[in-house]
Amino acid sequence: MIITDNNRLKHYHNSGEWGQKRLHDLFEETANRFPERIALVDPADKESLTGDAPQRLTYQELATKINQLTEVFLNNGLGKDDIILVQMPNVVELIYSYLAASRLGIILSPVPVQYQENELSSILNILEPKAVIVSPAFKQTSLLQRMHSSIKLSSMDIHPPKLLAWGEGESDCDLTAAIKRPSSSEQYAEYLQQQQISGDDLITICWTSGTEGTPKGVPRSHNQWLAIGKATYLGNQIQDNETLLNPFPLINMASIGGMFLSWLYSGGKLVLHHPLNLPVFLQQIVSEKVNYTLAPPALLNALLKDEKLKNAIDFSSIRAIGSGSAPLDVWMVDGYKKLFDIEIVNHFGSNEGVSLLCGPNETTSAEKRARLFPCKSDLLETRLVDVESGQQISEMDKSGELQIKGAGVFDGYFKSPLKTAEAFTADDFFKTGDLFQISSQDPKFYTFIGRCKDLIIRGGMNIAPAELDNLLNAHESILDVAVAAYPCDIMGERIAAFVAFKPEKSLTLVELTDYLKQQHVASFKLPEKLVVVSEIPRNPLGKVLRYKLSELS
């Protein structure tokens, strides 16, 4: 299925940014060259997650599994342009599914294991998939039963999709058993004689986080993923045959663009993890000799603040760690370099195609690395636009919406022409909804301010909550923190600080605001309410769910 318009296809093919490769082509190139190299490793705690023993596969073994699953898909009547909804944790079977789908021109739509009947039934109504793939169980939850319930609640109840499960249960096909049966490549060879699968065909439909309403489907082609993947692979300085540890769900930009594609480009070892189990995560780093991984800022901060854990951690194999989803702290970036000689690479991305990185390629300064992103890149054309006037911003320290155009940017939301029209400008720039400024520290960089819709408007003054999060998170008594608005009849909105304190630590509101005053924060930005919480609500990517905080205020 190709949804990109002809002018865009012509432009990026002529520029050389798009070609004819598909995701599985990168995998097969490595498998043919290094069949005995270790390719893929299951989560060490897989048995407690799904009940299955963890697997460790060479490229040849993985290629065999993918070939077998390709035959199983064909035997179940699945082929080019068919959509499959997938709800699975990070396990090797999910990788089989991606690469077998790539070989057949199938479109996978992965969703978080946390999604329940409400989200799943809505997505089923939009997608109308031909099939669904699930892990039968995840921890103590039956994903298989949840999917049955979701289908009954959806408009697909009369003509339900085929239900495929990686294990026993009430499904149309037990994939685990099916891929063990003898198969040949003849059926696939015949299939390829009838079907042409290009780099412009869709391979995924991912979903926005849904923090502001109903999730939106984001279709992406092989070429769009390959463009994003190359940028992150180069930006993170991934070396050939490195070991990558992926602790983020394989459902979105951070993990697919940042880790899965980097693995395909580097031909190394991909170690899977998720949901986060800190002891297991730290042990995997040691036992697998991990060179690169991702971690949310809150975790990296917590590790540095825990003196006992910090001194016990073995990070000797790690070259770099990618982080994002929230502003980074300068002291954290500096701390990892000084203590462990680890480069922290700042990531800012979205499923739609935002891909900003600030790492060693851009600057050696911890202060710049934590706060800034380069204005120019080979992948993206960027600009800032005043939210109210629509005028392009060229002066420093004036907030504007980031707008982007490039080979990695998606074409529009799935089955949603109105939302697509609202999201793009007349000259085809995508409106990200993210506020940035041209930095006065260095005009070649942007400073992230916050989400346009996250802005707190107090008495007519605009306040970006991410700025306050970043400042407060450096306090020695604070484990995690976020600010959000609460309503006020006089000022419209006021600011509440939601704080999870370190054990046996606390602050009063006065102490907290005094701390901000010491950082020379404007008085109108100071929180007027302190709410103590056990943890900050975040989505699967680690982004703060401010609407949930506002409900607590």
| Fold agreement between 6-37+45-221 and 295-451 | yes
Q: What percent of the chain has pLDDT over 70?
A: 97
What is the distance between the alpha carbons of residues 95 and 97, in angstroms, rounded to a whole number? 5
Which range, 157-161, 246-250, 317-321, 345-349, is most confident?
Answer: 317-321
Domain 295-451 fold is Rossmann fold (3.40.50)
What's the confidence (pLDDT) of residue 529?
94
Q: Which amino acid is at 527?
A: P
Query: Is 48 exposed, middle or buried, given 0-12, 13-18 or 19+ CB atoms closer than 10 A?
Result: exposed
Task: Parse the chain into domains and list their residue ranges.
Answer: 6-37+45-221, 295-451, 455-552
What is the distance between the alpha carbons of residues 544 and 553, in angstroms, rounded to a whole number? 15
What's the confidence (pLDDT) of residue 540?
65
Q: 200: which strand partners?
A: none
* pTM of this prediction exceeds 0.85: no
Nearest to 246 by CA among 273, 284, 279, 275: 273
Nearest to 136 by CA among 91, 95, 104, 96: 91
Nearest to 43 by CA among 109, 116, 94, 100: 94
Q: Are 216 and 119 in contact (CB under 8 A)?
A: no
Nearest to 55 by CA among 260, 242, 100, 64: 64
Q: Is pLDDT at 434 greater than 90 in this prediction? A: no
What is the distance between the alpha carbons of residues 131 and 257, in angstroms, rounded to a whole number? 24
Q: Is pLDDT at 105 greater than 90 in this prediction? A: yes
Q: Which residue has the tokens 């709410």?
A: 531
| Section 162-178 average pLDDT | 94
Q: Are 254 and 294 in contact (CB under 8 A)?
A: yes
What does the mean pLDDT of the chain come to?
91
Phi, psi of 193 (to 5 degrees): -70, -20
Between 55-59, 369-373, 406-410, the lowest mean confidence (pLDDT) is in 369-373
Neighbour tally for 474: CB within 10 Å: 16
Tokens encoding 87: 């709800």
What are the CB-based long-range contacts (under 8 Å, 24+) for 180-187?
Answer: 180/68, 181/68, 183/67, 183/68, 183/71, 183/72, 184/71, 185/67, 185/71, 187/71, 187/74, 187/75
| Section 312-325 average pLDDT | 91
For 481-545, give the DSSP string: EEEEEEEETTTEEEEEEEEEEPTT----HHHHHHHHHHTT--GGGS-SEEEE-SS--B-TT--B-
Nearest to 65 by CA among 95, 106, 102: 95
**pLDDT, tens digit, for every residue of 111-124?**
988 888 878 988 99
What's the confidence (pLDDT) of residue 197?
96
| Section 479-500 average pLDDT | 87
Q: Is pLDDT at 212 greater than 60 in this prediction? A: no
Q: Are 403 and 381 in contact (CB under 8 A)?
A: no
Q: Which amino acid is at 493?
A: E
What's the confidence (pLDDT) of residue 534?
93
Q: Is pLDDT at 343 greater than 70 in this prediction? A: yes
Q: Are 553 and 496 in contact (CB under 8 A)?
A: yes
What is the distance between the alpha carbons of residues 421 and 455, in angstroms, rounded to a whole number? 23
Tokens encoding 424: 């793009």
What's the confidence (pLDDT) of residue 257?
94
**Helix, strand, coil shares, percent, the chain, to 5:** 35, 25, 40
Q: How many CA atoms lie within 13 A of 297 on its CB side?
A: 28
Tokens encoding 380: 């993206």
**pLDDT, tens digit, for every residue of 14-27?**
999 999 999 999 99
What is the distance between the alpha carbons of residues 153 and 140, in angstroms, rounded to a whole number? 22
**pLDDT, tens digit, for every residue of 220-278?**
999 999 999 999 999 999 999 999 999 998 998 889 999 999 999 999 999 999 888 99
Q: Which residue has the tokens 């012509």?
A: 10
Q: 85: which strand partners?
A: 109, 132
Q: 270: which strand partners?
A: 40, 244
What is the distance between the alpha carbons of residues 71 and 253, in angstroms, rounded to a whole number? 28
Report CA 144 to chain centroid distance, whole Å: 24
Q: Is pLDDT at 211 greater than 50 in this prediction? A: no
Nearest to 412 by CA among 434, 386, 431, 439: 431
Tokens encoding 264: 């395909």
Q: Is pLDDT at 280 greater than 50 in this prediction? A: yes
Between 68-72, 266-270, 427-431, 439-443, the lowest mean confidence (pLDDT) is in 439-443
Please write down the HEC assignment for all residues of 182-200.
CCCCHHHHHHHHHCCCCCC
What is the distance between the alpha carbons of residues 91 and 192, in angstroms, rounded to a whole number? 28
Band of pLDDT at residue 519, cut at 50, 70 and 90: confident
What is the distance between the alpha carbons of residues 174 and 76, in angstroms, rounded to a whole number? 11
What's the confidence (pLDDT) of residue 186?
85
Q: What CATH superfamily is the domain 6-37+45-221?
A: ANL, N-terminal domain (3.40.50.12780)
Nearest to 66 by CA among 26, 35, 93: 93
Q: Are 283 and 289 in contact (CB under 8 A)?
A: no
Band of pLDDT at residue 210, cut at 50, 70 and 90: very low
Q: Please provide the CATH number assigned to the domain covering 455-552.
A: 3.30.300.30
Phi, psi of 14 (to 5 degrees): -65, -35
Look at residue 210 and give its three-state secondary structure.
Answer: coil
Rg (CA), the chain: 23
Give the CA distances from residue 274 to residues 48, 426, 485, in Å, rounded to whole numbers and listed in that order: 12, 40, 31
Q: Which residue has the tokens 């990531």?
A: 347
What is the distance between the alpha carbons of residues 57 and 11, in angstroms, rounded to a whole number? 40
Burial 198-225 (b: 16+ CB within 10 A, else e): bbbbbbbbbbbbbbeeebbbbbbbbbbb
What's the confidence (pLDDT) of residue 286?
96
Tokens encoding 282: 């730290």
| Section 76-88 average pLDDT | 97
